[in-house]
Amino acid sequence: MEERFRAISAADFFYRNREMAGFDNPVRSTYTICRELLENSMDACESGGYLPDIYMRLRYVDGEALEIKVEDNGKGVPRRYIKRAFGQVLFGSKYTLRQTRGIFGLGGKMAVLYGQITTNSPVHVISSTGGMERYSYKIMVDIERNEPITKGESIERNHGQWHGTVVKLKFQGDYARARAKIVDYLRHVAIIEPYSQIMFVDPDGVFYFFRRKAERMPRPPLEVLPHPQGVDVETLRRLIERFGQGSLIDFLVESFHRVGRRIALKFLRKTKLDPEMDVSELAKKEELIPKLVKAMNEFDGWLPPDPSCLSPIGSDLLEIGIRKELRPEFVAVVQRKPSTYGGHPFIVEVAIAYGGGVHAPSQGEVNLYRYANKIPLLYDVHNDVSMKVIRKIKWWRYKISPESMPIAFFIHVCSTKIPYKTVGKEYIADRPEVEYEVEWGLKEAARKLKLYLSKKRREESLKRRRAALLKYLPHIARFATELCGEKKIPDYEKLVAKEELKVKTALQRLA
C-alpha cells in the first residue's frame, strides 16, 4: 500500500505537539498560560515606555473550566494586526534582532489554541493604542489552515483614550496544583522587575499584590543588523536578495552590524574577493555563498556586537527587587561586561543575597533564582548552566556553604538569542561563553560576601570583648583599689568608651 504524503500547518503541528511548548498536562498548562499572557503584557508595556501595571484574574466558569483575564496598560495592538496576532501561530513582532522575552511568537497563540481545543471557546481580545476607538474581537484558530476565524467584532468609543490590551479565554486546567508555581513565578517577576505593579486574583478569591518599588525602567533594546560572525548560508542568501544590486563592500557595510569600510576591505583582501564585485554575482555562483559564510565566521577582525540591542536590569534595580521581596541582610550585585557567543551579544547579571528573609535551602538543594531576558525559569533547574556552575565552584574558598547557609543566588542572562535547550524555554544550555561569564560573576559576588562575613565576624568579636569588659572590669577596678589601699576607684569608663568606638567604627564600615 502506497504511503500518503501531505503538509500540515504550523498551528496543526503545535496542536499535535503541544507538550513541546509546555502544555503537556493541566497543571503545567495552567502555569504556562498565566506565564505567557503576563509576559506578552510586560513586553507591550516596556516597548511602549509605560511602567507595567497588570491585572490578572483566574476564576471557575461552566463547571470545572477556568477563565483567565489579563489586562495591561501597554501600547496596545493596532487593529489591522489583532486577528493574526491572536489567531495565527508563528505570527508576531518578535522576529527581530533585539532582546525580547519570547522568541517564537508562539506562547500567546498556544494559550489560545489550548483553550480552544479543551473548551471550544474563542479568545476575547479588547485593545486600543490610545486613540478615540477601542476594538473588541472574539477569535478562534483554523488549525488546518493556521488562520484566524472571527466569531465576533465590535468597535467602541474609547473614553479617556485608554491604551492597552485585555485578553480573556477559557481552558481546562488545574489551579489547585499549579497555584504554588504561579505565585512563585509572580514573586520572581517582582524581584527582576521592581518597576512593575502586578495584581492577581485567584479562583479562591485570594488577592496577591506586588507593589511597584521603582519609578524607572531599564533602557529599551534597539533593533540591530545581524553580526557577520553569526550568519549561516540561509541568512546570507536572504540578505543578498534583500540588498539587490551593488558592490560587495557596500553590501557588507550596509547589511551587517558594526562593519565599516576599513574592516570590510580588510576582510575582502584576506578572502581574495573583489570589493567592487556586484553582489548579484554571488547569487549566480552558488558555490561562493558557503565559502563566504565560512570565511565570515572564521575572520577574527570583526568588532564585537554592540550591546545596544540588549536591555539588562542593572545593578540598582536588581538590588531594589531583591531587597523588596526577600529583605536580606546583605546583597552583592555584579553586572558582567557584554560578551558574545556565535555572533550573538549577551550580558550576565549575578547577585548573592544573604541572611534576613533568606532561608537556608532544603537538604541537598540550593536557593537559585534564574532569569532569561527577564523571564523567570522555574522548571528543570538541575539541567541549567547556572546550577552546573554553582556545583563546580569551590565555595569553601569563600568561607560559605550554599547548601547550609541562608544564601540565595540570582542569575539573569539577557541576549538577542538565549541558548535554550528546549522549546519550553525552561533552562539554558551550557555554552562555554555563557558558563564563563556566570562563573566569574558568581565568584566576584562571592568575594564581596566573604568580605562582609569577615567584617561581621570581627564585629561580633568586638561585641563579645565589650560584653566581657562590662561584666568584669567594675569588679577588677574595685578589688585593685582595695588592694592598693586607695579610696577612689579609677575611671575605667575610658577603656569601655574606647572599645565602644571600635564597635561603632566596625558598624560604619559594614554600612
C-alpha separations of 412 from 435, 437, 476 in Å:
12, 11, 58
In a domain, 205, yes or no: yes
Distance CA 212, CA 197 (A): 5
**Is residue 1 included in any domain, yes or no?**
no
CATH of the domain at 258: 1.10.8.50
Stretch among 234-238, 251-255, 376-380, 478-482 having the lowest mean pLDDT:
478-482
Domain boundary among 180, 210, 240: 210
Whether 256 has a pLDDT exceeding 60, the answer reads: yes
200-216, pLDDT tens digit by residue? 999 999 999 999 999 99
Identity of residue 286: E
> Which residue, 65, 62, 177, is CA-closest to 118?
65
Instruction: Of 187, 177, 13, 208, give the one whose Cα is nearest residue 110.
Output: 13
Are residue 342 and residue 254 in the same domain, yes or no? no
Q: Is 314 left (phi over 0), alpha (psi -120 to 50) or beta?
A: left
- The span from the CA of 99 to the CA of 269, in Å, is 34
Q: Per residue in 464-476, pLDDT tens?
A: 777 777 777 777 7
Q: Does 373 lie in the same domain as 421?
A: yes
Query: Once rounded to an integer, what is the mean pLDDT over residues 29-43?
Result: 91
- Amino acid letter at 24? D
Going by pLDDT thresholds of 50, 70 and 90, the confidence category of residue 92 is: low
Judgement on whether residues 327 and 276 belong to the same structural domain of the protein: no
Please report whether residue 218 resides in a domain: no
Please answer whether residues 154 and 136 qualify as being in contact, where contact means their C-beta atoms are separated by less than 8 angstroms.
yes
Lowest mean pLDDT among 7-21, 77-91, 253-267, 389-403: 7-21
Looking at the fold, whether 495 and 471 belong to one and the same domain comes out as yes
Residues 476, 397 share a domain: no
- Report pLDDT digits (tens) over 55-87: 999 999 987 899 999 999 999 999 998 998 888
Q: Within this chain, do residues 257 and 320 fall inside the same structural domain, yes or no?
A: no
Residue linked to cell 496543526: 12
What's the chain's average pLDDT?
A: 86
pLDDT, one tens digit per residue, over 142-155 is 888 888 999 999 99
Domain that holds residue 190: 10-210
Counting the structural domains of the chain, the total is: 4
Pairing of strands 375-377, 367-372: antiparallel
Measured between alpha carbons, how far is 257 from 107 in angstroms, rounded to an integer? 29
Confidence (pTM): 0.84
39 and 138 part of one domain: yes
Q: Is residue 217 part of a domain?
A: no
Query: The domain that contains 362 carries what CATH number?
Result: 3.30.230.10
| Backbone phi, psi, residue 482, to 5° | -65, -40
**For 486-511, what is each residue's pLDDT tens digit?**
777 777 677 667 766 766 676 566 55
- Three-state secondary structure call for residue 157: strand
288 and 320 together in one domain: no
- If asked whether residues 244 and 111 sit together in one domain, one would say no
**Above 60 in pLDDT, residue 97?**
no
The residues facing 153 across adjacent strands are: 137
Mean pLDDT of 167-189: 94
Residue 403 and residue 315 share a domain: yes
216 belongs to a structural domain? no
Judge whether 422 lies within some domain: yes
